[in-house]
Amino acid sequence: MGPRSGWAGASKVLRPTRSRVRPLFQEHQTPYQRGGSLLNLLIFTWAIVVGVGALPRQVAAEKNKDYLMSNLCKTQFMRDLYWKIDGAVITSQNERNLDCAVTFQTYSIVQRFMLKFDRLQLDCNDHLYIYDGAHSVGNFKADLSCRNTMQSVGAIYTHTNFVTLKYVTDAWGTDTNGFRLVITAVKDPRHTCNDFRCNLKDFCIHKDLVCDGISHCEDGSDEATSTACVNMEASTILGMESTWFAMMMICIVLATAGLVTAAVLCFYRKRMPMPRHPHNSHNPQGHLPVNYPCEKSTTHILLKICMLKD
């Protein structure tokens, strides 16, 4: 068997294998290169922390929703489901040539809706129809126009867990025309209430609607200066919940620590002397970084042994 055949036979049997997992620091890396790897790792970690801290704060307890009547009318044909709410504020201001219907639904079948106006000033040719149900057909519960005011209307209660608003306007109006309607899902006193109970009529509303700056109870007891609102204000820092504030501060501290560490490593990395050739260590002039040869692999050594045996 010649050297060539031995080489071919060994190449068929012995094949070099490479690990798919690369270690953080290679054995042949110099301290200069290891410092760069550590710096890149810290910069990557700092970027992740800053990205997480910069995410918009989503408040899961935000139950009250604000809607513009013009936007609701634009999207009514694109929605297959009803608007499910615990509380909502519908604002209208001088919309012209509207003829749309919007339906809201409670989350629970044992709830129903209470409607209360904070502002009501409609044009005499504009009409807001309120239906006690999921469709704008049949008899309406209220037909509001210029003759109605928020004092004369008062609070309107539905019998079902649906309410439909149909708003019809003409081509004329002023900026003073419109309304601001607060819709709240309430639960009758005969049902168990684990949230907040209004003083008037003992209706139960969601606890996240309490002390939110909007009166959801007919008597406004959910926004009265009481122990509940004082405790809620005390649990906030700079307008944020204490939990979110603590998480934001932790993210800021970690991001700052990562940035300082990266800056220090970058500073020392620039001051680190360049490696020199061992034979020219007496030469004061620096040389370019040396790429140290990798160690011979086990496969290469075995191939040499097979050639010597042949």
pLDDT of 241-261, one tens digit each? 667 777 778 878 887 877 777
Tell me, yes or no, whether 276 lies in a domain. Answer: no
- Is pLDDT at 44 greater than 70 in this prediction? no
Q: Which domain holds residue 246?
A: 26-56+235-271
Residues 49, 102 share a domain = no
Residue 34 host element (H or E): helix 31-53
> At 123, which amino acid appears?
D
- Given pLDDT bands bounded at 50, 70 and 90, which one contains residue 166? very high
Is residue 31 over pLDDT 70?
A: no
305 occurs within a structural domain:
no
Residues 245 and 228 in one domain: no
Structural domains counted in the chain = 2
pLDDT at residue 46 in the model: 57
Closest CA to 87 of 223, 206, 226, 231: 206
Q: What is the CATH number of the domain that holds 163?
A: 2.60.120.290
183 is a domain residue: yes
Taking the C-alpha atoms of residue 182 and residue 64, their distance in angstroms, rounded to an integer, is: 10
This prediction's pTM: 0.58
Query: Mean per-residue pLDDT for 67-86?
Result: 81
- Give the burial class of 184: count Cβ atoms within 10 A of its Cβ; 0-12 exposed, 13-18 middle, 19 or more buried: buried
The one-letter amino acid code at 142 reads A
Look at residue 120 and give its three-state secondary structure.
strand
Do residue 188 and residue 254 come from a single domain? no
If one counts every other C-beta atom within 10 angstroms of the C-beta of residue 158, the result is: 23
The confidence score (pLDDT) of residue 56 equals: 44
Of 221 and 284, more confident: 221
Higher pLDDT, 43 or 153: 153
